A = this chain, B = another copy of it.
Amino acid sequence: MSTLAVAMFVPAAADLAVGNKEWQVFATGAALTLFIGVMLVLTTRSKIRNLSLRQAFILTTLSWVLMPAVAALPFIFADLDLSYTDAFFEAMSGLTTTGSTVIIGLDYALPGIVLWRALLQWLGGIGIIAMAISILPLLQVGGMQLFRMESSDTSDKVMPRAAQIVTAIAVIYVALTLLCALIYWLFGMTGFDAMAHAMTTIATGGFSTHDASLGFYQDARIDMTATVFMLLGSLPFVLYLQVLRGRPGGLFADNQVRWFLAIAALGVGSVTLWLLDGGPDDFPTTLRFAAFNVVSVITGTGYATRDYSEWGTFPVAIIFFLMFVGGCAGSTTCGVKVFRIQVLYATARCQMRRLLQPHGVFIPYYNRRPIPEEVTASVMGFFFLYVVSFALIAIALGIFGVDFLTAVSGSATAISNVGPGLGPVIGPSGSFSSLPDPAKWILAFGMLLGRLELFTVLVLLLPSFWRN
């Protein structure tokens, strides 16, 4: 929370620089947040050195609820006419790198607010990578222990300790952001827009400084830059360390990376072919729009340069199901994640081969290593709960009078942290602002659920969690 308070000084400075009084919004927010943060630090400076597992679960979930609660402050204090519901929704959408927005009129908004949204996603992005490397494997959430074993295995060790890894990755994260901003700027964005977009691209967040998202620029070079950096943000950041240590092959030798790129290519390819057939654009233009928008969905970024809701059922269905896929573990993306799909596929394939040879022994492999049974069960539990959560959130949204497409795509986009849904209401050219308040709270809960890999939140609902 103290970090968040310090971060609030950045948009304050931006507003002060252009000389408007909005900077006070952030100063007030920062002061309040800093006060709470420091109070918390002081009151909890006791001698607890090891957190119990229960405490770790509570702490993780609680901090991801409290952070958006205070990050919402500037949105209320600013002159945007947002209710607290809206402000909390926007902050949760920011920190979870979802990118669904309730704010209309971004083009005329003050730089502070626009920058604050970008900062939230950027901090959320590095926050989730840090969590995926340090906390989730320890909590053994949804098969993430697969990656703990990898990093504790001496033969393949990238760096000795989690803290060092996270620091190194933070440096890479900053470097990639600056590089992305530089390229955006070279291709004609203002320095401010370039920085804001670079932060939300690498975080696969999707907040833009314009209502028309990146479609505002109508520039193929910017689209392609964004496509590349969205993909870069979806790969396991830990592999970039290997690249830096002179093993660039490590990136493409990774099975998860290969599958992810193959799925993305398949999606882009089919949508391109579909759009080409009778479409108004030539091949390069069609490919550019298909690649940008499909990659934006599968990586869970949520930028848009076209309203893909209007492309027809075939691409819409592909885009809908790609929402669930997401990127690689250890990246800024959300969704089921590619490694889980690989584990599920490997298990299903083993099952089929076992049908033919009931006494044969078939072991599912991931990255050339056998998948331990507890990982399989963990991934299976995750996938089942993902589908059930998706269904329940969609049904719950139905209570509040939204249409079927809005309900199912809203549930999918929230739980997978994508951003826009499908259809006229919450699709790429719509906004979440018209939804009723309870629907916004449900969606914010969905974002939290997806971001914390379901289990971290759902475990709190177990009666046995609170016993003893």
Q: A: which residues have CB within 8 A of B?
A: 53-54, 57, 139-141, 274, 312-318, 320-321, 344-345, 347-348, 350-358, 373-374, 376-378, 380-385, 387, 391, 394-395, 397-399, 401-408, 422, 455, 458-459, 462, 464-465
- The answer to whether B377 and A347 touch across the interface, beta carbons within 8 angstroms, is yes
Closest chain B residue, CB of each to CB of A318 = B395
16 A-B pairs within 8 Å (CB atoms) are namely A54-B356, A140-B354, A140-B355, A140-B358, A313-B401, A317-B395, A317-B408, A321-B394, A344-B381, A347-B377, A351-B381, A356-B459, A356-B462, A376-B380, A383-B383, A404-B405
Whether A377 contacts B351 in the complex (CB less than 8 A), given A345-B384, A465-B356, comes out as yes
Contact partner, A377, options B350, B378, B458, Cβ 8 Å: B350
- Please, how many angstroms separate the alpha-carbon atoms of A376 and B383 in the complex? 13
In whole Å, how far is A463's beta carbon from the nearest beta carbon of chain B? 11
* Chain B residues within 8 Å of A373, by CB: 373
Query: Is the beta-carbon distance between B53 and A351 smaller than 8 angstroms?
Result: no
Shortest CB distance A308–B (Å)? 12
Nearest-Cβ distance from residue A377 to partner chain B, whole angstroms: 6
Q: Is the CB of B347 within 8 A of A384?
A: yes
B381:A462 contact, CB within 8 angstroms: no
Q: How far is the CA of A95 from the CA of B172 in the complex (A)?
A: 60
CA distance A314 to B407 in the complex (A): 9
Kindly report which residue of chain B lies nearest to residue A344, judged by CB atoms.
B384
Using known A-B contacts A377-B376, A380-B376, determine if residue A398 contacts B314 with beta carbons closer than 8 Å.
yes
> Which of B317, B401, B406, B407 sits near A398, CB closer than 8 Å?
B317
Contacts known (A344-B380, A344-B384); A356 close to B53, Cβ less than 8 A: yes
Q: With A and B bound together, what is the CA distance between A316 and B405 in angstroms?
A: 11
Known A317-B404, A408-B317, A464-B356; contact A348-B384, beta-carbon cutoff 8 A: yes
Which 9 A-B pairs rank lowest in CB-CB distance, beginning with the nearest?
A: A314-B398, A313-B398, A348-B381, A351-B381, A380-B380, A344-B384, A317-B398, A321-B391, A317-B395
Residues of chain B contacted by A314 (CB below 8 angstroms): 395, 398-399
A321, A348, A397, A403, most chain B CB atoms within 10 A: A348
The distance in angstroms between the C-alpha atoms of A394 and B317, with both chains bound, is 7
* Chain B, Cβ-Cβ closest to A374: B354
Q: Which residues of B contact A356 (CB under 8 A)?
A: 53-54, 57, 459, 462, 464-465
Contacts of A358 in B (CB 8 A): 53, 140
Rounded to whole Å, the gap between the CB of A321 and the closest CB of chain B is 4
